[in-house]
A and B are shown apart, each in its own frame.
Chain A
Amino acid sequence: MLRQLEGSHAIARSVALCRPRVVCAYPISPQTHILEGLEELIRSGKLQNCEYLNVESEMGALSVAIGAEAAGVRSYTATSSQGLLYMIEAVYNASGLELPIVMTLGNRALGSPINIWNDHSDAMSVRDSGWVMFFAETNQEAADLHILAFMVAEKMRCPVIVNVDGFILTHAYDRVDIPSQEAVDEFLPPYAPNISLDVDSPMAVGTMVPPEYFMEVRCLAHRKHEDSLALIERAGSTFEEKFGRNSGGLLRGYSLQNADTIVVAMGSVAGTIKDVVDELNHEGGKFGELTIVCYRPFPREALRNSLKNSKRIIVVEKSLAVGVGGILSQEIELAMKGCNVEIISVIAGLGGRNITKSTLKEHFSKKNHEKMTFLDLRNDIIADQYRPICSAAVKAEKTCPIQP
């Protein structure tokens, strides 16, 4: 049923349709409205048979979910930014214990400096944690990906993060089709836990694993992720058959045929990019767009297949590895190894900086690109504040002159 909903409330309704039995809440902007929405659905009786727990920290929130899943019930929580960092020890623990928790990450910058606005730094901080990671482009996808997330999590025995751009999606009102309970019940079977704390069949969960076995545990987790790419793709098409829209899968291409330049992105910025691609193609350009829906496991082969016929790949990325550069662009470089294609990194939208059509268009139209660009950088501030360290002086072991 189509409704005009705030992104967070669309996600809350979608999560409720998945019938979680334990929901844990700790506030941090911009994810707060999701858990407030769920609380309302639970207190009003619209979501029954569900414990709602207000906890004392993000560490507590994910830990409660870990306990609940280990005891055999479907569990959900949400966080953002610093909250994710505060629970990061439990993030690794949940994937190591193979507990299929679903968590929304309302994507937000990491401090310091403190900043509550959107980028993907928080998501990137857990990219190696062993969680499956989806990125939503629209509020409809954000809602749908949660239904897919529970299905994939429980089939894989692996927790899933659904990334939703903070404010841009979480606080935006849009028309969203919320499926019926019957349809979701048909798509998502009741939770059949792999492990559960059972007095009739006692089991020790979370034991110490010595060097004789640890490598194997890690290797098996890696293989499981690689094997699950097919499962995630199939889940996406099953979802499409059932609900009539393509919200999942690994990648989503736009205008890829005959494209010389393909712009790759994750999350809500893909919509803006597609508008720019349309404009450029209307003016005779050969542009395409590729959205990464499933970032972990990383769909290396699918990416290579989608991008191998292009001449230039522009990666618009909302995160930065300080001292390294773009994160997604480097992963794409590895995926494209051996292909004769130019790969360009555009660092954009950090800390909520607006990404506009006009600057994207200007940048995409350039004939020659820097390997890496900070989009819409305020060069006056950089010129004023940048103090280069003289590397020649460091090498000569003299006092390093800081240039005025």
Chain B
Amino acid sequence: MSHPTIGNRLVKNVTVQSMRDRPNCLTSGHRACQGCGEALGARCVLDAAYAATGGKIAVVNATGCLEVFSCVYPENSWQVPWLHSLFGNAPAVATGVAAAFKQQGKSDVRIIAQGGDGALSDIGMGCLSGMFERNDDVLCVCYDNQAYMNTGVQRSGATPAFARTATTLPTGNYLGNDAQTGKNLPKIAMAHEIPYVATASIGNIHDLEEKVTKAIHIRGAKYLHVHVPCPLGWGYSPSDTIKIARAAVQCGLFPLFEMERGKIMKSTPIKDPVKVDDYLKSQRRFAHLFGKSASPEALAALQDIADNNIRDYALAENANG
């Protein structure tokens, strides 16, 4: 593979969108919305895994947007072996594929189980935890758009505090989803002490690709949590997906880090800090926290989450030395 150039930069060992020989595991023509973060995330994850394994990957997909927009018979956008079973069982199905490949002497084919935050943090949590606990040879990727987007933006276990969804509509004193802070699936994965856990963002594709490339070769259970903004569900212009994704990372609400065997090994410092308020203001799902019925308490609570992340994951620039 030659080293392509982007502008005047020479980029080494990475796949970029403009490359002609990019595998496009999730190829064009699918039915995702304009500006879909999940479609971009899935394509980048799978293409990186494909490149790292010489094309030896098989994918198990949970029910959700990613499955629905990619494969309405007789069409489908997958250029890799791909299997969809149910909403809540993708990690267990992937375990079965791994067991079969082991029996067939095909352990060089790497297995990815993927789904949204609903599929993995809620309905499929049992199967996911089982896969982690058995340390099955599967990379599980969660594309986290923080709600059930496929069914019309209902709250999931990973929906952040005070976000408006179809089932957490702010009214009167109710600020929307005020009971929670969003289930922390990477920490839950980490508690299983599996070989590798990481977070990534479609706002930092090279970091995401590096993590996939690293994870895909590790034997045992791996977990990658990818932050994927959703223009429809979050309420912003489709052209702003990358901007929003970057702002989430740069304000501290979505920390990028890697963990191995239950310990944080590395985090990505914030380079261009963004104010939490500015990140929130850019999305209609938080609009009720500003303006006439503004809630300084809610904003302070969200700021606290970001501050805690910056402290706990050492995100302040130069914190990593």
Asked if A64 CB lies within 8 Å of chain B CBs, one says: yes
Give chain B interface residues in 80-131, CB to chain A under 8 Å. 80-86, 88-89, 92-104, 109, 126-127, 129-130
Which residues in B have their C-beta under 8 angstroms from that of A209?
Answer: 73
Interface string of B47-70 (1 = CB under 8 A from A): 000000001111011000001100
The docked-state distance in angstroms from the alpha carbon of A26 to that of B129 is 15
Residues of B within 8 A of A202 (CB): 78-82
A198 to B55 alpha-carbon distance, docked (Å): 11
A21-60 vs B: 1/0 string, CB under 8 Å?
1101000000000000000000000000111011111011
Q: How far is the CA of A289 from the CA of B76 in the complex (A)?
A: 53
State whether the Cβ of A391 lies closer than 8 Å to any Cβ in chain B. no
Interchain CB contact under 8 A, B83 and A206: yes
The residue of chain A having its C-beta at the shortest distance from the C-beta of B138 within the complex is A67
**B81-A67 in contact (CB<8A):** no
How far is B92's CA from A68's CA once the two chains are assembled, in angstroms?
A: 10
Total number of residue pairs linking A and B with CB closer than 8 Å: 154
- Number of B interface residues in the complex (CB < 8 A): 44
Q: Is the interface of B mostly helix, strand, loop or mixed?
A: mixed
Contact of B93 with A199 in the complex, beta carbons under 8 Å: no
B72 engages A207 (CB within 8 Å): yes
Bound Cα distance from A24 to B99, whole angstroms = 10
The CA-CA distance from A213 to B20 in the complex, in Å, is 35
Asked if B19 lies at the interface with its beta carbon under 8 angstroms from chain A, I say no
A75 at interface, CB cutoff 8 A: yes
B74 at the A interface (CB under 8 A): yes
A68, B98: Cα distance in complex, Å: 8
Contact between A208 and B96, CB atoms less than 8 A apart = no
Q: In the assembly, what is the distance between CA of A59 and CA of B95, in Å? A: 13
Partner of A60, one of B60, B97, B130: B130
A70 beta carbon closer than 8 Å to chain B:
yes
Interchain nearest-CB distance for B32 vs A (Å): 14
Q: From A99, which residue of chain B is reached at the shortest CB distance?
A: B85
**Are B71 and A67 touching (Cβ within 8 A)?**
no
Assess the B55–A199 pair: CB atoms within 8 A. yes
A324 in contact (CB, < 8 A): no
Q: Which residue of chain B is the closest to A50 with respect to CB atoms?
A: B103
Question: Does A21 contact B79, Cβ atoms closer than 8 Å?
Answer: no
B278 within 8 Å of A (CB atoms): no
Q: A310 on the interface (CB 8 Å rule)? A: no
Complex CA gap A24/B127 in Å reads 13
Which B residue sits closest to A193, measured CB to CB?
B100
Residues of B within 8 A of A102 (CB): none
A258-290 CB contact bits vs B (8 Å, 1 = yes)? 000000000000000000000000000000000
Most chain B beta carbons < 10 A, residue from A24, A50, A66: A66
Known: A205-B82, A213-B73. A71 touches B127 (CB 8 A): no
**B272 sits at the interface (CB 8 A):** no
CB contact between A56 and one of B79, B102, B130 (< 8 Å): that residue: B130
Q: A59-B89, A63-B93, A199-B58 are in contact. Are A51 and B103 (CB under 8 A)?
A: yes
**Residues of B contacting A65 in the complex (Cβ-Cβ under 8 angstroms):** 96
How far is B133's CA from A70's CA once the two chains are assembled, in angstroms? Answer: 23
A14 CB to nearest chain B CB (Å)? 20
Q: Which of B68, B85, B95, B130 contacts A93 (CB 8 A)?
A: B85
* Docked-complex contact B129 and A71, CB < 8 angstroms: no
A63-90 CB contact bits vs B (8 Å, 1 = yes)?
1111111111101000000000000011
The docked-state distance in angstroms from the alpha carbon of A69 to that of B94 is 11
C-alpha spacing A239/B40, complex, angstroms: 54
Also in contact, A68 and B82, with CB within 8 A (given A53-B134, A59-B88, A207-B76) = no
A90 near B85: Cβ-Cβ < 8 Å: yes
B82 engages A67 (CB within 8 Å): no
- Contact assessment for B85 and A206 in the assembled complex, using a CB-CB cutoff below 8 Å: yes
Question: With contacts A90-B85, A203-B81 known, is A68 near B100, CB below 8 A?
Answer: yes
CB–CB B81/A60 < 8 A:
no
Which residues of A have CB within 8 Å of B55?
Answer: 199
Closest A residue to B60 by CB, please name it: A67
Q: Is the CB of A56 within 8 A of B126?
A: yes
Distance in angstroms between the alpha carbons of A208 and B61 in the assembled complex: 12
Among residues of A, the one whose C-beta sits closest to the C-beta of B99 is: A51
* Bound-complex Cα distance A54 to B94 (A): 15
Bound-complex Cα distance A54 to B136 (A): 11
Question: Which residue in chain B gives the minimum CB-CB distance to A57?
Answer: B126
Q: Is the CB of B126 within 8 A of A64?
A: no
The minimal Cβ–Cβ distance linking B5 to chain A, given in whole angstroms, is 30
- Nearest Cβ distance between residue A208 and chain B, in whole angstroms? 5
Query: Smallest distance from the beta carbon of B98 to chain A beta carbons, Å?
Result: 8
Residues from chain B with Cβ under 8 Å of A203 in the complex: 81-82
- Can you pick out 6 interface pairs between chain A and chain B where the beta carbons lie within 8 Å of each other? A53-B134, A57-B130, A64-B92, A199-B109, A208-B71, A213-B74
**4 interchain residue pairs of minimum CB distance:** A67-B96, A56-B130, A71-B100, A63-B92
Q: A51-B103, A56-B133, A67-B98 are in contact. List 10 more A-B contacts (CB 8 A).
A: A51-B102, A55-B95, A199-B55, A202-B78, A202-B82, A203-B81, A204-B71, A205-B82, A205-B84, A210-B72
